[in-house]
Amino acid sequence: MSNTSTVTTFLLLSFSDIWEQNVLFFSLLLVIYLAALMGNFLIISVIYVDQRLHTPMYFFLVNLSVVDLGSISVTIPNAMINSLLNAREISYSGCVAQVYSLFFFLIVDLFLLTGMAYDRYVAICDPLHYETVMDRKGCIQMAASAWIVGLFYSALHTGSTFANTFCSNVLNQFFCEIPQLLKISCNNLYLIEVGVVVFSAFIVFSCFGFIVVSYVQIFKSVLRIPTTQGRNKAFSTCIPHLIVVSLFISTGSFAYLKPTSGSPSNLDLVVAVLYSVVPPLMNPIIYTMRNRDIKAALGKMIQGGVPSLITASFTSIHLISSFVGFNFGK
């Protein structure tokens, strides 16, 4: 489209024109969504129920699970509905809300992962001052800062993106994302958003650099631990976080820094799934499989049977609404 008429709706990428395939896509997305919800709710429930897990590291993990629940809920439910109804349209305001929400959860995720790296650094490299540095007030301030910065930073990105005039309303993606919106921009204001993206890349790689430097110091300290058991215990609390960070940084950076194609591309679709769906789905699995404390607490909860799981689910919902009041143990 060469005209610059006002865009009121956007057309998203359709999975298929065949009803049976759309039902298959719907079923697959439903399984992924339910698995991500169950995994993250279980993480929150286990941490809330088990008093031994009321520590700064697991406080940040609860925040991370809340972020994962939010980020996967931004894209998957709408994609499920569109797939089932064979629909493509999303309103202009709905697209704005989707861009804002997704970027908000992504940036909060990044800052929380950075805070978790700092927590591990203090715990292993400066254990004598750990309770002083990572006290309840300090942890709440760090987490709150991540959420507040996310609110303003995503507003900056969303505002600069939708300040553009769009020459088309066709997006080659199953949800609204900034790279695809910039591709259909038809004025020079897109340079503003490009500048914001470059600034974002600087922040992302600064956080990643901080995490790398922290873990270099952590590994140096761990290797100085005289006993094999002590080294294994230290590594068991670090490896899951490193895997999650690597997954988040690699998929997100590739999605936002790679050149966008001029036509619908399977690569664009795969990359979008990797950074918007895979981390919220895999994070609970990674932390559950590699963390002995969570596996032990989860085992006790499962032994308690269905009533215990139901009770834990309700308490996890309560925790999401009042996680600021999280009580740290020693």
Residues 6+ apart with CB under 8 A from 114: 207, 210, 211
Give the model's pLDDT for residue 21. 82
Give the model's pLDDT for residue 259. 60
3 state DSSP class of 277: coil
Give the model's pLDDT for residue 317. 44
Q: Which two tokens stand for residue 320?
A: 């999401």
Contact between 278 and 39 under an 8 Å Cβ cutoff? The reply is no
Q: Which two tokens stand for residue 284?
A: 């609970």
Q: Which two tokens stand for residue 20?
A: 């049976």
pTM for the whole structure = 0.83
**How does 194-212 read in b/e, with b if 16+ C-beta sit within 10 Å?**
eebbeebeeebeebbeebe
Contact between 34 and 275 under an 8 Å Cβ cutoff? The reply is no
> Domains plus CATH for the chain?
9-324 (1.20.1070.10)
Angle value at C-alpha 274, between 272 and 278, nearest 5 degrees: 125
pLDDT tens track of the chain, all 330 residues?
Answer: 444 457 788 988 877 777 788 888 888 889 999 999 988 988 888 888 888 888 888 899 999 999 999 999 998 998 888 888 888 889 999 999 999 999 899 899 999 999 999 998 998 888 888 888 888 888 999 999 999 999 998 998 888 888 878 888 888 888 888 878 878 887 665 566 667 667 777 888 888 889 989 988 988 888 887 777 777 777 777 788 888 888 777 777 776 666 655 555 566 677 777 778 888 888 888 877 666 777 777 777 666 654 544 454 444 444 444 443 444 544
Give the model's pLDDT for residue 101. 93
Give the model's pLDDT for residue 182. 79
Residues 6+ apart with CB under 8 A from 64: 109, 112, 113, 116, 244, 283
Residues 6+ apart with CB under 8 A from 245: 113, 117, 208, 211
